[in-house]
Structure formats: structure tokens, C-alpha cells
């Protein structure tokens, strides 16, 4: 599945380079219109990042998120600094299908496991965002990618598989917002290592060739952000490419 993404600040569609708020580009002033365009082009799901809520939970854009959900009629997953049970409850009340949990999976894993048990694994997407060091370790970043941890993606994920984790959004931070190409080898390895997980690839997608390559390694979904906003290709073209791309045949 291809999942168009909209990053939101003060009701506008923006992009940050490598998660840096000081490197913001604003693309549109009407996210509802853009989300509706994506739906009309064939999108089956949307990914929203509430950057206001990430910086300050009291500024979370519940009204806008609810408006997008109702206007498009699409299932939506929302991330951005989700820190409390109340955040999840309010997002679900706004019509959100899934919440995306990042930093707390590293800093408060017991709380996140409680959410899995309460809301169910279909309601939660783990956002495991990695910096890959010279030794090849996939170290998770937290707090909007501004802090590094010593926790590896693999060790973190193992603890959540026990509570039924099914959906994981993985971003290679070095590629996010760069249009440098997707880290296909990363997702190939993760899909092979954790075949029960539905992997969402994010970061660096720049061309239809990236989509073909990700489909070939059986990546389940791809988040499309900057490539659509900067007209590298249209969503219609991307969906046609994804549909026509071949997956390897299992023997």
C-alpha cells in the first residue's frame, strides 16, 4: 500500500529536513484540500504528523485532524509526540484509525505495551526511526529525532512482538526529506528478519524506481511525503507503478 503523508504545523502542510524545525518548508495552506486530492487519486490510507502536538501536546490539532478524517472518509494514522492515554483516546474520538507511537516505545515501553493490550495491535503503529552507525547498528532516535539512544531497533521490536505488534513505520533518518532514494536494503533485511510485521518504509523516496525496488523486497507499505509535494511523480503514477511492480514469488 502507498500511504500519502501530510506534516502539519498551524494548519499548514510543511516538511522538515531531518526533523529539524529550523529547516521548514511550507507547501500548502489547505491540508483538507490536499488530503481530498489524494483520496480522489486513489489513496486508501493517509498518514498525518501533528508537529504542533509533537512540540506541545496542548497544541495538538484535534479539530483539523477530525476535519480531514470526516472530509476524506479515509482511514488515517496520526503521529507526533503522543505521550498519554488521553492523547490516544482523543485521537480515536476524532475518527483516527491508528496512532503512531515513537519515542515512548524507547523511553516508556511498559506504558506502550499497556496501550497494545488496551487498544489492540491494529490500533497502534510503532515508529522506529533509526540512525545507522558505522558498525551497522540501527540505533533508535527519540524526541523528534533530536536525541539518540543506545537501543537498537531489533531489541525494541522484540519486546513489542510479545503483545502482538503488527505495524511498524521505519525511517532511515539520514534520508528523510532528502529525495536521496529509499534505503531498500534496510527494509529487505527487516522484512526477512521479522516477516510477521507489516513494514511501512519512510524516508528518501524520490522516484518510481524506488517504489519498484521496495515492492520487489516485499515491503508492505511506503509513506510518500516530499516526493508528492514536489511533484517528483503524481500519486496516480505511483499507484500504477506499485500495482504493476512484481513481488518475488515464494518457493
| Distance separating alpha carbons of residues 164 and 141, to the nearest angstrom | 23
Q: Which of 50, 87, 129, 210 is catalytic?
A: 129
Picking from 167-181, 199-213, 233-247, which range would have the lowest pLDDT averaged per residue?
167-181
CA dist list (Å): 62 to 41, 43, 77, 100, 188: 25, 22, 13, 15, 35
Taking alpha carbons only, the member of 127, 232, 225 closest to residue 171 is 127
- Give per-residue pLDDT as tens, 23-77: 788 999 999 999 999 999 999 999 999 999 988 988 999 999 999 999 999 999 9
Domain boundaries, the chain: 102-165
Provide the pLDDT for residue 172. Answer: 85
Query: Does the structure show a pLDDT above 90 at 179?
Result: no
Provide the pLDDT for residue 220. Answer: 97
| Distance separating alpha carbons of residues 48 and 25, to the nearest angstrom | 16
Taking alpha carbons only, the member of 106, 119, 121, 116 closest to residue 154 is 106
Provide the pLDDT for residue 250. Answer: 44
Give the residue ranges of DSSP H helices in the chain: 31-41, 51-55, 62-72, 85-93, 103-107, 109-119, 153-161, 184-193, 208-216, 226-229, 235-244
Provide the pLDDT for residue 201. Answer: 95
Would you call 176 a catalytic residue per the annotation? no
Among 14-23, 120-129, 181-190, which range has the highest average pLDDT?
A: 120-129
Would you call 87 a catalytic residue per the annotation? no
Task: Give the rounded percent of residues in the chain with a pLDDT score beyond 90.
Answer: 72
Backbone angles phi, psi at 227, to 5 degrees: -60, -40
Provide the pLDDT for residue 147. Answer: 60
Provide the pLDDT for residue 88. Answer: 96
Provide the pLDDT for residue 145. Answer: 55
Amino acid at each position: 500500500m502507498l500511504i500519502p503523508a501530510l506534516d502539519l504545523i498551524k494548519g499548514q502542510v510543511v516538511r522538515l529536513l531531518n526533523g529539524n524545525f529550523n529547516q521548514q518548508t511550507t507547501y500548502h495552506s489547505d491540508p483538507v484540500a490536499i488530503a481530498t486530492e489524494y483520496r480522489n487519486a486513489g489513496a486508501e490510507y493517509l498518514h498525518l504528523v501533528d508537529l504542533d502536538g509533537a512540540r506541545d501536546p496542548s497544541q495538538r490539532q484535534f479539530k483539523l485532524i477530525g476535519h480531514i478524517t470526516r472530509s476524506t472518509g479515509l482511514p488515517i494514522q496520526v503521529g507526533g509526540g503522543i505521550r498519554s492515554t488521553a492523547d490516544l483516546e482523543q485521537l480515536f474520538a476524532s475518527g483516527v484509525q491508528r496512532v503512531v507511537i515513537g519515542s515512548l516505545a524507547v523511553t516508556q515501553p511498559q506504558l506502550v505495551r499497556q496501550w497494545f493490550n488496551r487498544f489492540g495491535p491494529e490500533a497502534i503503529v510503532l515508529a522506529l526511526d533509526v540512525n545507522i552507525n558505522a558498525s551497522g547498528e540501527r540505533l533508535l532516535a527519540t524526541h523528534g529525532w533530536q536525541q539518540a539512544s543506545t537501543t537498537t531497533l531489533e531489541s525494541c521490536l522484540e519486546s513489542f512482538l510479545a503483545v502482538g505488534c503488527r505495524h511498524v513505520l521505519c525511517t532511515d533518518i539520514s534520508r528523510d526529506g532528502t529525495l536521496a532514494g529509499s534505503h531498500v536494503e534496510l527494509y529487505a533485511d527487516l522484512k526477512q528478519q521479522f516477516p510477521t510485521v507489516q513494514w511501512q518504509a519512510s524516508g528518501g523516496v524520490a522516484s518510481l524506481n524506488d517504489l519498484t525496488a521496495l515492492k520487489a523486497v516485499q515491503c508492505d507499505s511506503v509513506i510518500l511525503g516530499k516526493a508528492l509535494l514536489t511533484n517528483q511523480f503524481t500519486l496516480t503514477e505511483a499507484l500504477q507503478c506499485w500495482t504493476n511492480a512484481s513481488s518475488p514469488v515464494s518457493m
